[in-house]
Structure 1
């Protein structure tokens, strides 16, 4: 019985850590990396103001403050076509958050729940500090509070929130994970007999 409970606990922590690990979205180009943070708790809600900031670093870990980067942020509802204009183009301000000083950030109110793409593009303000870049971050926005959005009349910006890499919807992915965990428990119990 100890092995079964150990396997269940291990499987649970493996699944939980996979979801926690995806909380901060990290993207890189040839010589620039960016980590997207959204407050509160990397869980934006439709109709509610979210503070968004991107910790930009050069290869080697040196922080790129907004004053050294001509950066623009564009927000697209997913899916979108390449020629489609952004849904939002929030202005960027220099923010000092955690150990980062003067990094690009903004406040965004996502209009509806669903999948969005945040695209940060930039080039050096002066000199040759880094190459021009374009970082794309996928964000899923949850339904907001009842005071901000009437949930009965709110339509998702996309019909189903899908994992763009696998094509599975979130409920299907959760069901498959539960089925796999149940299969492991069944196999362990059969081997014990």
Structure 2
């Protein structure tokens, strides 16, 4: 005889409901924190900016990366590049005060998301590690906003190009190996000729003595 099957609705206890809600809330918090860390807002005087790095705020060494800055003045009005004498300087971290910038990529006006004509630049980070991106600027029209200097720290991961270069022997090494390979037969030939000459000399000397 088979036991009867209970076809009633699945019931979840209040304790389990609380656990599920906490898990969902935790996931939302983690997602929000990740976005906040990736899109940190920096403020200087009456100017603020958020940095975005393509792709997905995860730059890789040796690969071309586009960085752009959502630059706004107090009140939320966007500052396009045409209204700002902006410069971008990139330093490898840590760096000393007064140290020259590692990179100074030119800024260009770009369109990104809902922003029009904001400053952006193509950057190729030479190696993995931490870098500081320093965006500074002055208004084209005096008084529209105050001069500013914004600093962002970015972590660069290892890129495919770096891996390829490290695993591939250099051209000089290949040339050196080829040169050594060609030189070895010539060295042996020289040794054989020298040995033959010495042998002939000894034979002739022995004949003269006899």
Q: TM-score, normalised by structure 1?
A: 0.72
Distance in 2 of aligned mates of 1:152 and 1:70: 38
Give 1:149's match in structure 2, choosing from 154, 162, 171: 162
Instruction: Quote the residue 1:166 is aligned against.
Output: none
Number of aligned positions between the proteins: 152
The separation in 1 between residues aligned to 2:149 and 2:82, in whole angstroms, is 17
Structure 1: how far apart are the matches of 2:119 and 2:25?
A: 38
Distance in 1 of aligned mates of 2:78 and 2:20: 44
Q: Secondary structure at the match of 2:33?
A: helix
Report the counterpart of residue 71 of structure 1 in structure 2. 86
- For residues 65 and 20 of structure 1, what CA distance do their matches in structure 2 show? 24
Closer/same/farther in 2, CA of residues 38 and 25 from structure 1, 3 Å limit:
same
Aligned-partner Cα distance in 2 for 1:110–1:34: 21
Residue equivalent to 2:29: 14
Cα distance in structure 1, aligned partners of 2:110 and 2:20: 46
Structure 1 residue 11, shift from structure 2 partner: 3.3
- The separation in 2 between residues aligned to 1:112 and 1:55, in whole angstroms, is 26
Superposed CA RMSD in Å reads 2.0
Quote the Cα distance in structure 2 between the aligned partners of 1:67 and 1:36. 18
Higher helix share: 2
2-structure distance, mates of 1:42, 1:14: 19
Native 8 Å contact 1:33 1:57 kept in 2: yes
Consecutive unaligned residues of structure 1, counting only runs of 5 or more, are 155-193
- Bigger Rg over Cα: 2
Displacement, 1:16?
A: 3.6
Q: Deviations over 1:121-179 (max 9, x none)?
A: 0001122101100000111111112xx1127959xxxxxxxxxxxxxxxxxxxxxxxxx
CA separation in 2, counterparts of 1:54 and 1:7?
Answer: 35
1:107 aligns with 2:99: no
Could you tell me how far apart the structure 1 residues matched to 2:96 and 2:60 are? 24
The aligned residue for residue 134 of structure 2 is: 119
Give the drift of 1:12: 4.1
| Structure 2 CA distance for partners of 1:30 and 1:7, relative to 1, 3 Å | same
> Structure 1, residues 21-71: CA drift from partner, whole Å, max 9, x if none?
212121111210111111111111111111111111110111111111110
Aligned 8 A contact 1:46 1:141 in 2: yes
What displacement does 1:116 show? 0.6
- What's the TM-score once normalised by structure 2's chain length? 0.67
**C-alpha distance in structure 1 between counterparts of 2:71 and 2:26, whole Å:** 34
**SS of 1:127 mapped into structure 2:** coil
Q: Provide structure 2 residue ranges, at least 5 long, that are not aligned to the other structure.
A: 1-14, 168-210
Deviation at 1:91, TM superposition (A): 0.5
